[in-house]
Structure 1
Amino acid sequence: MIHIVFNEPDIKVLQQAIELDESLQGEVIQIKDDYAVGPLNNIYLGEGIDQRRQWWREVLTGGDGDSKVDSGEVDDYKTAAELVGTMRRDENEIIWIWVAQNKHDVSGYYWLLNYMKEFQGRVFILYLNNLPFINEKGNIFYPNWISEIPAKEFLKAKKLAREITLSEFEVDPDEWTKICDENGGVRLLEGGKKLKSEDYDFYDAELKKQVTGDWQKASKIIHHFLSKAKHTTGDMYLLWRLKTMIANEMFDVQGKIANMKDFEVKAPSR
Protein backbone atom coordinates (compact mmCIF):
# COMPACT_ATOMS: atom_id res chain seq x y z
CA MET A 1 0.00 0.00 0.00
CA ILE A 2 1.20 3.50 -0.89
CA HIS A 3 -0.31 6.53 0.85
CA ILE A 4 -0.35 9.86 -1.00
CA VAL A 5 -0.65 13.14 0.94
CA PHE A 6 -0.25 16.77 -0.10
CA ASN A 7 1.18 18.48 3.01
CA GLU A 8 4.31 17.78 5.01
CA PRO A 9 2.51 17.71 8.43
CA ASP A 10 0.23 14.96 7.06
CA ILE A 11 3.20 12.58 6.82
CA LYS A 12 3.91 12.50 10.55
CA VAL A 13 0.31 12.00 11.69
CA LEU A 14 -0.30 9.28 9.10
CA GLN A 15 2.87 7.47 10.16
CA GLN A 16 1.62 7.63 13.75
CA ALA A 17 -1.69 6.14 12.62
CA ILE A 18 0.16 3.33 10.83
CA GLU A 19 1.92 2.47 14.10
CA LEU A 20 -1.52 2.06 15.71
CA ASP A 21 -3.08 0.05 12.88
CA GLU A 22 -1.06 -2.50 10.93
CA SER A 23 -3.71 -2.64 8.20
CA LEU A 24 -2.54 0.83 7.13
CA GLN A 25 1.06 -0.32 6.72
CA GLY A 26 2.71 1.30 3.72
CA GLU A 27 4.95 4.05 2.41
CA VAL A 28 3.78 7.67 2.77
CA ILE A 29 4.62 9.89 -0.22
CA GLN A 30 3.97 13.63 -0.50
CA ILE A 31 3.02 15.59 -3.62
CA LYS A 32 4.80 18.81 -2.71
CA ASP A 33 3.80 21.60 -5.09
CA ASP A 34 0.83 23.83 -4.28
CA TYR A 35 -1.36 23.59 -7.38
CA ALA A 36 -3.92 25.95 -5.83
CA VAL A 37 -1.71 28.85 -6.95
CA GLY A 38 0.37 29.69 -10.00
CA PRO A 39 0.14 29.00 -13.75
CA LEU A 40 -1.37 25.72 -14.96
CA ASN A 41 -1.42 26.10 -18.73
CA ASN A 42 0.16 23.04 -20.43
CA ILE A 43 0.96 21.70 -16.95
CA TYR A 44 1.96 18.25 -18.27
CA LEU A 45 4.14 19.51 -21.14
CA GLY A 46 7.69 20.83 -21.04
CA GLU A 47 6.69 24.40 -21.86
CA GLY A 48 4.09 24.54 -19.09
CA ILE A 49 6.36 22.82 -16.57
CA ASP A 50 9.16 25.32 -17.28
CA GLN A 51 6.73 28.25 -17.04
CA ARG A 52 5.54 27.10 -13.63
CA ARG A 53 9.07 26.56 -12.36
CA GLN A 54 10.04 30.06 -13.52
CA TRP A 55 7.01 31.51 -11.74
CA TRP A 56 7.97 29.81 -8.46
CA ARG A 57 11.52 31.10 -8.98
CA GLU A 58 10.10 34.62 -9.16
CA VAL A 59 7.96 34.09 -6.04
CA LEU A 60 10.69 32.58 -3.87
CA THR A 61 13.85 34.44 -4.92
CA GLY A 62 15.09 37.06 -2.45
CA GLY A 63 12.85 35.99 0.43
CA ASP A 64 12.33 33.34 3.08
CA GLY A 65 11.93 30.69 0.40
CA ASP A 66 15.21 31.57 -1.33
CA SER A 67 16.88 28.29 -0.32
CA LYS A 68 14.19 26.33 -2.17
CA VAL A 69 14.90 28.03 -5.52
CA ASP A 70 16.32 25.41 -7.90
CA SER A 71 17.01 23.10 -4.94
CA GLY A 72 15.28 20.18 -6.63
CA GLU A 73 13.35 19.65 -3.39
CA VAL A 74 10.03 19.82 -5.23
CA ASP A 75 9.84 17.53 -8.28
CA ASP A 76 6.36 16.03 -8.43
CA TYR A 77 6.91 14.84 -11.99
CA LYS A 78 9.75 12.61 -10.78
CA THR A 79 7.56 11.42 -7.89
CA ALA A 80 4.70 10.60 -10.29
CA ALA A 81 7.06 8.73 -12.63
CA GLU A 82 8.34 6.64 -9.72
CA LEU A 83 4.77 5.88 -8.63
CA VAL A 84 3.83 4.75 -12.13
CA GLY A 85 6.93 2.56 -12.29
CA THR A 86 6.14 0.95 -8.94
CA MET A 87 2.53 0.25 -9.92
CA ARG A 88 3.56 -1.28 -13.25
CA ARG A 89 6.16 -3.55 -11.65
CA ASP A 90 3.83 -4.82 -8.92
CA GLU A 91 0.29 -5.53 -10.04
CA ASN A 92 -0.76 -6.13 -6.42
CA GLU A 93 0.27 -2.67 -5.24
CA ILE A 94 -2.49 -0.18 -4.42
CA ILE A 95 -2.57 3.56 -3.77
CA TRP A 96 -4.60 5.46 -1.19
CA ILE A 97 -4.93 9.20 -1.89
CA TRP A 98 -5.77 11.22 1.24
CA VAL A 99 -7.72 14.41 0.45
CA ALA A 100 -9.10 16.89 2.99
CA GLN A 101 -11.68 19.58 2.29
CA ASN A 102 -9.31 22.31 1.10
CA LYS A 103 -8.25 23.74 -2.24
CA HIS A 104 -4.63 22.63 -1.85
CA ASP A 105 -5.45 18.92 -1.46
CA VAL A 106 -8.16 18.93 -4.13
CA SER A 107 -5.90 20.70 -6.64
CA GLY A 108 -3.13 18.20 -5.90
CA TYR A 109 -5.56 15.30 -6.36
CA TYR A 110 -6.61 16.62 -9.77
CA TRP A 111 -2.98 17.06 -10.85
CA LEU A 112 -2.06 13.51 -9.77
CA LEU A 113 -5.08 11.87 -11.43
CA ASN A 114 -3.47 12.33 -14.85
CA TYR A 115 -0.95 9.60 -13.94
CA MET A 116 -3.32 7.18 -12.25
CA LYS A 117 -5.92 6.25 -14.88
CA GLU A 118 -4.14 3.11 -16.13
CA PHE A 119 -4.37 1.74 -12.59
CA GLN A 120 -8.14 2.14 -12.18
CA GLY A 121 -9.33 -0.40 -9.65
CA ARG A 122 -6.10 -0.12 -7.64
CA VAL A 123 -6.31 3.58 -6.76
CA PHE A 124 -8.46 4.64 -3.82
CA ILE A 125 -9.49 8.04 -2.50
CA LEU A 126 -10.22 8.96 1.11
CA TYR A 127 -12.02 12.28 0.83
CA LEU A 128 -12.71 13.81 4.24
CA ASN A 129 -15.60 15.89 2.95
CA ASN A 130 -17.65 17.12 5.94
CA LEU A 131 -16.86 14.06 8.05
CA PRO A 132 -16.84 14.75 11.83
CA PHE A 133 -13.95 13.62 14.04
CA ILE A 134 -13.14 13.81 17.75
CA ASN A 135 -10.24 16.09 18.71
CA GLU A 136 -7.80 15.65 21.58
CA LYS A 137 -10.22 17.42 23.95
CA GLY A 138 -13.05 15.06 23.07
CA ASN A 139 -14.98 17.61 21.01
CA ILE A 140 -16.48 17.03 17.57
CA PHE A 141 -14.82 18.98 14.76
CA TYR A 142 -14.60 18.98 10.98
CA PRO A 143 -10.97 18.94 9.82
CA ASN A 144 -9.77 21.13 6.99
CA TRP A 145 -6.44 19.32 6.85
CA ILE A 146 -5.40 15.67 7.27
CA SER A 147 -2.83 16.70 9.89
CA GLU A 148 -5.60 17.99 12.19
CA ILE A 149 -6.92 14.46 12.76
CA PRO A 150 -5.57 12.68 15.87
CA ALA A 151 -3.74 9.47 14.92
CA LYS A 152 -6.26 7.26 16.74
CA GLU A 153 -9.10 8.76 14.67
CA PHE A 154 -7.59 7.33 11.48
CA LEU A 155 -9.36 4.09 12.38
CA LYS A 156 -12.52 5.96 11.38
CA ALA A 157 -10.94 7.73 8.45
CA LYS A 158 -9.73 4.54 6.75
CA LYS A 159 -13.35 3.39 6.38
CA LEU A 160 -13.77 6.13 3.77
CA ALA A 161 -11.39 4.42 1.36
CA ARG A 162 -13.12 3.67 -1.95
CA GLU A 163 -12.02 3.02 -5.49
CA ILE A 164 -11.80 6.01 -7.79
CA THR A 165 -14.44 5.02 -10.32
CA LEU A 166 -14.03 4.82 -14.06
CA SER A 167 -16.57 7.64 -14.30
CA GLU A 168 -14.43 9.86 -12.05
CA PHE A 169 -11.38 9.10 -14.17
CA GLU A 170 -13.36 10.45 -17.13
CA VAL A 171 -15.15 13.41 -15.52
CA ASP A 172 -12.57 14.77 -13.03
CA PRO A 173 -9.82 15.33 -15.64
CA ASP A 174 -12.32 17.41 -17.66
CA GLU A 175 -12.88 19.64 -14.61
CA TRP A 176 -9.11 19.98 -14.16
CA THR A 177 -8.57 20.71 -17.87
CA LYS A 178 -11.11 23.54 -17.63
CA ILE A 179 -9.29 25.01 -14.62
CA CYS A 180 -5.90 24.64 -16.36
CA ASP A 181 -7.20 26.34 -19.51
CA GLU A 182 -8.54 29.25 -17.44
CA ASN A 183 -4.99 29.56 -16.08
CA GLY A 184 -5.94 31.87 -13.22
CA GLY A 185 -3.36 32.57 -10.54
CA VAL A 186 -5.48 31.26 -7.66
CA ARG A 187 -7.87 28.33 -7.18
CA LEU A 188 -10.64 28.30 -4.55
CA LEU A 189 -12.75 25.33 -3.42
CA GLU A 190 -16.47 25.98 -3.81
CA GLY A 191 -17.59 22.67 -2.30
CA GLY A 192 -17.19 18.99 -3.05
CA LYS A 193 -14.39 18.79 -5.59
CA LYS A 194 -15.44 21.91 -7.51
CA LEU A 195 -12.74 24.56 -7.96
CA LYS A 196 -13.02 28.07 -9.34
CA SER A 197 -10.32 30.34 -10.70
CA GLU A 198 -9.37 33.80 -9.48
CA ASP A 199 -6.66 36.27 -10.47
CA TYR A 200 -3.21 36.47 -8.89
CA ASP A 201 -4.26 39.54 -6.88
CA PHE A 202 -7.21 37.74 -5.24
CA TYR A 203 -5.70 37.97 -1.72
CA ASP A 204 -4.40 41.54 -2.09
CA ALA A 205 -7.46 43.38 -0.79
CA GLU A 206 -7.61 41.35 2.42
CA LEU A 207 -3.83 41.53 2.85
CA LYS A 208 -3.95 45.30 2.41
CA LYS A 209 -6.42 45.55 5.33
CA GLN A 210 -3.70 44.30 7.68
CA VAL A 211 -1.42 47.24 6.78
CA THR A 212 -2.01 50.14 9.19
CA GLY A 213 -0.60 53.62 9.73
CA ASP A 214 2.01 52.16 12.09
CA TRP A 215 5.19 50.36 11.08
CA GLN A 216 4.79 46.57 11.20
CA LYS A 217 7.12 43.81 10.13
CA ALA A 218 5.94 42.01 7.02
CA SER A 219 5.86 38.79 9.07
CA LYS A 220 3.31 40.32 11.45
CA ILE A 221 1.10 41.52 8.60
CA ILE A 222 1.12 38.07 7.01
CA HIS A 223 0.45 36.38 10.37
CA HIS A 224 -2.56 38.65 10.97
CA PHE A 225 -3.87 37.86 7.49
CA LEU A 226 -3.56 34.10 8.07
CA SER A 227 -5.36 34.33 11.43
CA LYS A 228 -8.25 36.49 10.20
CA ALA A 229 -8.92 35.96 6.50
CA LYS A 230 -11.62 33.57 5.31
CA HIS A 231 -9.53 32.45 2.33
CA THR A 232 -5.85 31.85 3.03
CA THR A 233 -2.82 30.61 1.16
CA GLY A 234 0.88 29.94 1.78
CA ASP A 235 3.01 32.60 3.47
CA MET A 236 5.51 32.66 0.57
CA TYR A 237 2.72 33.57 -1.84
CA LEU A 238 1.55 36.33 0.51
CA LEU A 239 5.09 37.67 0.87
CA TRP A 240 5.34 37.83 -2.92
CA ARG A 241 2.02 39.68 -3.16
CA LEU A 242 3.09 42.13 -0.44
CA LYS A 243 6.34 42.81 -2.30
CA THR A 244 4.36 43.27 -5.52
CA MET A 245 2.19 45.93 -3.88
CA ILE A 246 5.31 47.63 -2.47
CA ALA A 247 6.83 47.66 -5.96
CA ASN A 248 3.65 49.42 -7.13
CA GLU A 249 4.26 52.05 -4.41
CA MET A 250 1.09 51.22 -2.51
CA PHE A 251 2.85 51.29 0.91
CA ASP A 252 5.74 52.93 2.71
CA VAL A 253 8.56 50.54 3.50
CA GLN A 254 11.76 50.56 5.54
CA GLY A 255 14.50 47.94 5.80
CA LYS A 256 15.77 45.44 3.25
CA ILE A 257 12.92 43.98 1.22
CA ALA A 258 13.90 40.33 1.56
CA ASN A 259 12.82 37.92 4.33
CA MET A 260 9.53 38.85 5.96
CA LYS A 261 11.26 39.81 9.23
CA ASP A 262 13.75 42.07 7.45
CA PHE A 263 11.45 44.95 6.54
CA GLU A 264 8.52 46.96 7.87
CA VAL A 265 5.49 48.30 6.10
CA LYS A 266 2.85 50.93 6.78
CA ALA A 267 0.11 52.76 4.96
CA PRO A 268 1.44 55.70 2.93
CA SER A 269 1.66 58.94 4.89
CA ARG A 270 1.07 61.13 1.83
Structure 2
Amino acid sequence: MIHVVFEKANVEALRKSFELDPSMDGEIAEVQDDFAVGPLADVDTEEGAAARLQWWKDILAGGHNEGLADDGHVDDQKVVRELKAKLDENPEEIVWIWAAQNKHDVSGYYWLMSQLTEYQGRIYILYLNNLPFINEKGNIFYPTNLFQIQPKEFVKAKKLARVITPSEFEVDPDEWTKLCNEDKGVRQLEGGKKLVSRGYDYYDNELLKFVTKEWQKGNKLLQQYFSKSKEITGDSYLLWRLKYLVEVGKIEMQGDWRNMKDFQVRLPGTNAEAAETTSAEASQS
Protein backbone atom coordinates (compact mmCIF):
# COMPACT_ATOMS: atom_id res chain seq x y z
CA MET A 1 0.00 0.00 0.00
CA ILE A 2 1.27 3.44 -0.95
CA HIS A 3 -0.29 6.53 0.66
CA VAL A 4 -0.19 9.91 -1.11
CA VAL A 5 -0.64 13.23 0.69
CA PHE A 6 -0.26 16.83 -0.46
CA GLU A 7 1.49 18.55 2.43
CA LYS A 8 4.55 17.85 4.56
CA ALA A 9 2.65 18.16 7.86
CA ASN A 10 0.28 15.42 6.70
CA VAL A 11 3.11 12.90 6.35
CA GLU A 12 3.95 12.71 10.03
CA ALA A 13 0.30 12.91 11.09
CA LEU A 14 -0.55 9.91 8.95
CA ARG A 15 2.57 7.96 9.94
CA LYS A 16 1.61 8.10 13.63
CA SER A 17 -1.60 6.21 12.84
CA PHE A 18 0.40 3.20 11.60
CA GLU A 19 1.41 2.48 15.19
CA LEU A 20 -2.26 2.06 16.08
CA ASP A 21 -3.21 0.04 13.01
CA PRO A 22 -0.33 -1.88 11.36
CA SER A 23 -2.66 -2.86 8.50
CA MET A 24 -2.36 0.73 7.27
CA ASP A 25 1.44 0.66 7.30
CA GLY A 26 2.97 1.57 3.97
CA GLU A 27 5.10 4.04 2.10
CA ILE A 28 4.00 7.68 2.17
CA ALA A 29 4.59 9.78 -0.93
CA GLU A 30 4.20 13.57 -0.81
CA VAL A 31 3.18 15.79 -3.72
CA GLN A 32 4.79 19.09 -2.75
CA ASP A 33 3.63 21.59 -5.35
CA ASP A 34 0.59 23.76 -4.61
CA PHE A 35 -1.47 23.42 -7.78
CA ALA A 36 -4.11 25.79 -6.36
CA VAL A 37 -1.94 28.69 -7.56
CA GLY A 38 0.24 29.43 -10.55
CA PRO A 39 0.20 28.66 -14.29
CA LEU A 40 -1.26 25.35 -15.48
CA ALA A 41 -1.04 25.70 -19.25
CA ASP A 42 0.40 22.44 -20.64
CA VAL A 43 1.55 21.57 -17.11
CA ASP A 44 1.55 17.85 -17.94
CA THR A 45 4.15 18.39 -20.67
CA GLU A 46 7.88 18.93 -20.17
CA GLU A 47 7.62 22.50 -21.44
CA GLY A 48 4.63 23.35 -19.28
CA ALA A 49 6.24 21.86 -16.18
CA ALA A 50 9.40 23.88 -16.87
CA ALA A 51 7.36 27.07 -17.24
CA ARG A 52 5.63 26.40 -13.94
CA LEU A 53 8.97 25.75 -12.22
CA GLN A 54 10.31 29.04 -13.55
CA TRP A 55 7.22 30.81 -12.25
CA TRP A 56 7.90 29.43 -8.77
CA LYS A 57 11.53 30.56 -8.98
CA ASP A 58 10.33 34.07 -9.84
CA ILE A 59 7.79 34.02 -7.00
CA LEU A 60 10.36 32.93 -4.42
CA ALA A 61 13.14 35.27 -5.60
CA GLY A 62 14.10 37.85 -3.01
CA GLY A 63 11.95 36.29 -0.28
CA HIS A 64 12.53 34.07 2.75
CA ASN A 65 12.11 30.93 0.59
CA GLU A 66 14.46 32.04 -2.19
CA GLY A 67 16.19 29.08 -3.80
CA LEU A 68 13.62 26.54 -2.65
CA ALA A 69 12.69 25.72 -6.25
CA ASP A 70 16.31 25.66 -7.43
CA ASP A 71 17.85 22.76 -5.48
CA GLY A 72 15.84 20.03 -7.21
CA HIS A 73 14.36 18.48 -4.07
CA VAL A 74 10.83 19.35 -5.25
CA ASP A 75 10.17 16.98 -8.15
CA ASP A 76 6.57 15.83 -8.27
CA GLN A 77 7.01 14.29 -11.71
CA LYS A 78 9.57 12.00 -10.10
CA VAL A 79 6.94 11.05 -7.50
CA VAL A 80 4.56 10.06 -10.32
CA ARG A 81 7.24 8.08 -12.14
CA GLU A 82 8.09 6.17 -8.97
CA LEU A 83 4.41 5.45 -8.27
CA LYS A 84 3.93 4.06 -11.77
CA ALA A 85 7.09 1.96 -11.51
CA LYS A 86 5.94 0.38 -8.25
CA LEU A 87 2.47 -0.29 -9.63
CA ASP A 88 4.04 -1.92 -12.70
CA GLU A 89 6.44 -4.02 -10.63
CA ASN A 90 3.78 -5.34 -8.26
CA PRO A 91 0.31 -6.10 -9.72
CA GLU A 92 -1.06 -6.28 -6.15
CA GLU A 93 0.12 -2.80 -5.19
CA ILE A 94 -2.52 -0.13 -4.56
CA VAL A 95 -2.43 3.63 -3.96
CA TRP A 96 -4.48 5.52 -1.38
CA ILE A 97 -4.84 9.25 -2.15
CA TRP A 98 -5.67 11.23 1.01
CA ALA A 99 -7.37 14.61 0.50
CA ALA A 100 -9.03 17.02 2.92
CA GLN A 101 -11.61 19.56 1.86
CA ASN A 102 -9.30 22.34 0.76
CA LYS A 103 -8.24 23.74 -2.59
CA HIS A 104 -4.63 22.59 -2.18
CA ASP A 105 -5.48 18.91 -1.73
CA VAL A 106 -8.23 18.87 -4.34
CA SER A 107 -6.04 20.55 -6.95
CA GLY A 108 -3.31 18.03 -6.19
CA TYR A 109 -5.80 15.18 -6.51
CA TYR A 110 -6.86 16.29 -9.99
CA TRP A 111 -3.26 16.69 -11.12
CA LEU A 112 -2.23 13.27 -9.80
CA MET A 113 -5.18 11.06 -10.73
CA SER A 114 -5.25 12.39 -14.30
CA GLN A 115 -1.84 10.73 -14.74
CA LEU A 116 -2.88 7.37 -13.28
CA THR A 117 -5.79 6.47 -15.54
CA GLU A 118 -4.11 3.25 -16.72
CA TYR A 119 -4.25 1.89 -13.16
CA GLN A 120 -8.02 1.97 -12.71
CA GLY A 121 -9.18 -0.33 -9.94
CA ARG A 122 -5.95 0.15 -7.97
CA ILE A 123 -6.22 3.84 -7.10
CA TYR A 124 -8.27 4.70 -4.02
CA ILE A 125 -9.47 8.06 -2.70
CA LEU A 126 -10.08 9.02 0.93
CA TYR A 127 -11.75 12.41 0.68
CA LEU A 128 -12.65 13.98 4.02
CA ASN A 129 -15.45 16.04 2.51
CA ASN A 130 -17.32 17.88 5.28
CA LEU A 131 -17.05 14.92 7.65
CA PRO A 132 -17.03 15.20 11.48
CA PHE A 133 -14.07 14.05 13.56
CA ILE A 134 -13.17 14.17 17.26
CA ASN A 135 -10.45 16.58 18.37
CA GLU A 136 -8.07 16.26 21.33
CA LYS A 137 -10.65 17.79 23.68
CA GLY A 138 -13.28 15.28 22.65
CA ASN A 139 -15.31 17.77 20.65
CA ILE A 140 -16.68 17.26 17.15
CA PHE A 141 -15.05 19.37 14.44
CA TYR A 142 -14.79 19.42 10.67
CA PRO A 143 -11.12 19.35 9.61
CA THR A 144 -9.98 21.20 6.53
CA ASN A 145 -6.49 19.67 6.68
CA LEU A 146 -5.31 16.12 7.36
CA PHE A 147 -2.77 17.19 9.97
CA GLN A 148 -5.62 18.43 12.19
CA ILE A 149 -6.76 14.83 12.72
CA GLN A 150 -5.60 12.68 15.64
CA PRO A 151 -3.85 9.38 14.80
CA LYS A 152 -6.77 7.31 16.10
CA GLU A 153 -9.10 9.26 13.83
CA PHE A 154 -7.00 8.30 10.80
CA VAL A 155 -7.70 4.68 11.73
CA LYS A 156 -11.43 5.42 11.61
CA ALA A 157 -11.01 7.38 8.38
CA LYS A 158 -9.57 4.38 6.56
CA LYS A 159 -13.15 3.10 6.26
CA LEU A 160 -13.70 5.94 3.79
CA ALA A 161 -11.24 4.43 1.30
CA ARG A 162 -12.93 3.62 -1.99
CA VAL A 163 -11.78 2.86 -5.49
CA ILE A 164 -11.86 5.81 -7.86
CA THR A 165 -14.65 4.81 -10.24
CA PRO A 166 -14.32 4.47 -14.02
CA SER A 167 -16.71 7.40 -14.44
CA GLU A 168 -14.48 9.57 -12.21
CA PHE A 169 -11.46 8.54 -14.25
CA GLU A 170 -13.38 9.75 -17.28
CA VAL A 171 -14.82 12.99 -15.90
CA ASP A 172 -12.17 14.27 -13.44
CA PRO A 173 -9.28 14.44 -15.96
CA ASP A 174 -11.59 16.53 -18.17
CA GLU A 175 -12.19 18.86 -15.24
CA TRP A 176 -8.43 19.16 -14.76
CA THR A 177 -7.97 19.89 -18.48
CA LYS A 178 -10.60 22.63 -18.21
CA LEU A 179 -8.76 24.26 -15.31
CA CYS A 180 -5.47 24.04 -17.22
CA ASN A 181 -6.99 25.64 -20.29
CA GLU A 182 -8.48 28.47 -18.21
CA ASP A 183 -5.02 29.03 -16.64
CA LYS A 184 -6.14 32.01 -14.55
CA GLY A 185 -3.63 31.67 -11.71
CA VAL A 186 -5.77 30.81 -8.69
CA ARG A 187 -8.12 27.89 -7.98
CA GLN A 188 -10.82 28.09 -5.30
CA LEU A 189 -12.87 25.23 -3.85
CA GLU A 190 -16.63 25.67 -3.98
CA GLY A 191 -17.78 22.53 -2.18
CA GLY A 192 -17.30 18.88 -3.04
CA LYS A 193 -14.55 18.63 -5.66
CA LYS A 194 -15.65 21.71 -7.60
CA LEU A 195 -12.79 24.10 -8.30
CA VAL A 196 -13.28 27.51 -9.91
CA SER A 197 -10.60 29.64 -11.55
CA ARG A 198 -9.76 33.15 -10.34
CA GLY A 199 -7.22 35.75 -11.40
CA TYR A 200 -3.75 36.15 -9.90
CA ASP A 201 -5.02 39.22 -8.01
CA TYR A 202 -7.75 37.25 -6.22
CA TYR A 203 -6.22 37.68 -2.74
CA ASP A 204 -5.14 41.31 -3.15
CA ASN A 205 -8.20 43.07 -1.72
CA GLU A 206 -8.36 40.74 1.26
CA LEU A 207 -4.65 41.30 1.92
CA LEU A 208 -5.07 45.08 1.72
CA LYS A 209 -7.64 44.96 4.53
CA PHE A 210 -4.83 44.24 6.98
CA VAL A 211 -2.43 46.96 5.78
CA THR A 212 -2.72 50.12 7.87
CA LYS A 213 -1.38 53.67 7.62
CA GLU A 214 1.21 52.83 10.26
CA TRP A 215 4.36 50.85 9.49
CA GLN A 216 3.70 47.17 10.18
CA LYS A 217 6.15 44.27 10.05
CA GLY A 218 5.52 41.67 7.39
CA ASN A 219 5.22 38.78 9.84
CA LYS A 220 2.60 40.62 11.89
CA LEU A 221 0.61 41.48 8.77
CA LEU A 222 0.50 37.87 7.62
CA GLN A 223 -0.31 36.62 11.12
CA GLN A 224 -3.39 38.81 11.10
CA TYR A 225 -4.27 37.69 7.59
CA PHE A 226 -4.04 33.98 8.42
CA SER A 227 -5.95 34.32 11.70
CA LYS A 228 -8.81 36.47 10.40
CA SER A 229 -9.25 35.75 6.70
CA LYS A 230 -11.41 32.92 5.38
CA GLU A 231 -9.62 32.85 2.02
CA ILE A 232 -5.95 32.05 2.56
CA THR A 233 -3.03 30.75 0.54
CA GLY A 234 0.71 30.22 1.04
CA ASP A 235 2.88 32.98 2.49
CA SER A 236 5.24 32.95 -0.51
CA TYR A 237 2.37 33.73 -2.86
CA LEU A 238 1.14 36.51 -0.55
CA LEU A 239 4.64 37.98 -0.33
CA TRP A 240 4.73 38.05 -4.13
CA ARG A 241 1.40 39.90 -4.16
CA LEU A 242 2.70 42.38 -1.58
CA LYS A 243 5.64 43.13 -3.86
CA TYR A 244 3.22 43.73 -6.73
CA LEU A 245 1.08 46.07 -4.60
CA VAL A 246 4.23 48.03 -3.80
CA GLU A 247 5.12 48.24 -7.50
CA VAL A 248 1.71 49.68 -8.41
CA GLY A 249 1.75 52.14 -5.49
CA LYS A 250 -1.07 50.68 -3.41
CA ILE A 251 1.23 50.17 -0.43
CA GLU A 252 4.67 51.38 0.66
CA MET A 253 7.52 49.20 1.90
CA GLN A 254 10.82 49.62 3.73
CA GLY A 255 13.41 47.03 4.76
CA ASP A 256 14.49 43.65 3.40
CA TRP A 257 12.00 41.25 1.78
CA ARG A 258 14.16 38.24 2.66
CA ASN A 259 12.89 38.10 6.23
CA MET A 260 9.30 38.73 7.30
CA LYS A 261 10.58 40.55 10.40
CA ASP A 262 12.94 42.78 8.42
CA PHE A 263 10.48 44.64 6.23
CA GLN A 264 7.50 46.87 6.97
CA VAL A 265 4.55 48.00 4.90
CA ARG A 266 1.92 50.69 5.17
CA LEU A 267 -0.73 52.41 3.09
CA PRO A 268 0.28 55.57 1.17
CA GLY A 269 -0.60 58.88 2.83
CA THR A 270 1.03 58.48 6.23
CA ASN A 271 0.78 60.36 9.48
CA ALA A 272 4.31 61.65 8.90
CA GLU A 273 3.24 63.25 5.64
CA ALA A 274 0.18 64.67 7.35
CA ALA A 275 2.42 66.15 10.06
CA GLU A 276 4.65 67.78 7.44
CA THR A 277 1.59 69.27 5.77
CA THR A 278 0.31 70.58 9.10
CA SER A 279 3.73 72.06 9.90
CA ALA A 280 3.91 73.75 6.51
CA GLU A 281 0.44 75.20 6.93
CA ALA A 282 1.33 76.48 10.40
CA SER A 283 4.46 78.25 9.12
CA GLN A 284 2.40 80.01 6.45
CA SER A 285 -0.17 81.31 8.91
Task: Tell me how far apart the structure 1 counterparts of residues 244 and 15 of structure 2 sit (CA, whole Å).
Answer: 39
**Equivalent in the alignment of 1:138:** 138
TM-superposition CA deviations, 1:31-66 (whole Å, max 9, x none): 000000000000111221111011101100111111
* Higher alpha-carbon Rg: 2
Structure 1, unpaired ranges of 5+: none
TM-superposition CA deviations, 1:233-267 (whole Å, max 9, x none): 00111011001111222212221233322210111
Distance apart, 1:67 and its partner CA = 3.3
Q: Secondary structure at the match of 1:197?
A: strand
Distance apart, 1:130 and its partner CA = 1.1
Aligned pairs for 1:147-186 (under 5 A) are: 147-186=147-186
Q: Given that residues 84 and 115 in structure 1 are in contact (C-alpha distance below 8 angstroms), is that contact kept between their aligned partners in structure 2? A: no
Aligned pairs for 1:52-67 (under 5 A) are: 52-67=52-67
Deviating above 4 A after TM superposition, structure 1's stretches of 4 or more consecutive aligned residues are none
**Equivalent in the alignment of 2:36:** 36
**Equivalent in the alignment of 1:127:** 127
Aligned pairs for 1:84-103 (under 5 A) are: 84-103=84-103
Q: Secondary structure at the match of 1:260?
A: coil
**Equivalent in the alignment of 1:238:** 238
**Equivalent in the alignment of 2:9:** 9
Task: Tell me how far apart the structure 2 counterparts of residues 36 and 175 of structure 1 sit (CA, whole Å).
Answer: 14
Q: Secondary structure at the match of 1:224?
A: helix
Task: Tell me how far apart the structure 2 counterparts of residues 234 and 96 of structure 1 sit (CA, whole Å).
Answer: 25
**Aligned pair count?**
270
Structure 2, unpaired ranges of 5+: 274-285
Distance apart, 1:183 and its partner CA = 0.1
Distance apart, 1:116 and its partner CA = 1.3
Is 1:212 aligned with 2:212?
yes
TM-score, length basis structure 2: 0.93
Q: Aligned partner of 2:229: which letter?
A: A
Q: Secondary structure at the match of 1:68?
A: coil
Task: Tell me how far apart the structure 2 counterparts of residues 29 and 107 of structure 1 sit (CA, whole Å).
Answer: 16
TM-superposition CA deviations, 1:148-185 (whole Å, max 9, x none): 01001112100000000111000001111111100011
Q: Secondary structure at the match of 2:41?
A: coil
**Equivalent in the alignment of 2:282:** none
Task: Tell me how far apart the structure 2 counterparts of residues 199 and 259 of structure 1 sit (CA, whole Å).
Answer: 27
TM-score, length basis structure 1: 0.98
Measured on the aligned residues, the alpha-carbon RMSD in Å equals: 1.0
Task: Tell me how far apart the structure 2 counterparts of residues 149 and 134 of structure 1 sit (CA, whole Å).
Answer: 8
Q: Given that residues 41 and 48 in structure 1 are in contact (C-alpha distance below 8 angstroms), is that contact kept between their aligned partners in structure 2? A: yes
Q: Aligned partner of 2:85: which letter?
A: G
Q: Given that residues 61 and 69 in structure 1 are in contact (C-alpha distance below 8 angstroms), is that contact kept between their aligned partners in structure 2? A: no
- Same amino acid, percent of matched pairs: 56
Task: Tell me how far apart the structure 2 counterparts of residues 255 and 161 of structure 1 sit (CA, whole Å).
Answer: 49
Task: Tell me how far apart the structure 2 counterparts of residues 127 and 18 of structure 1 sit (CA, whole Å).
Answer: 19
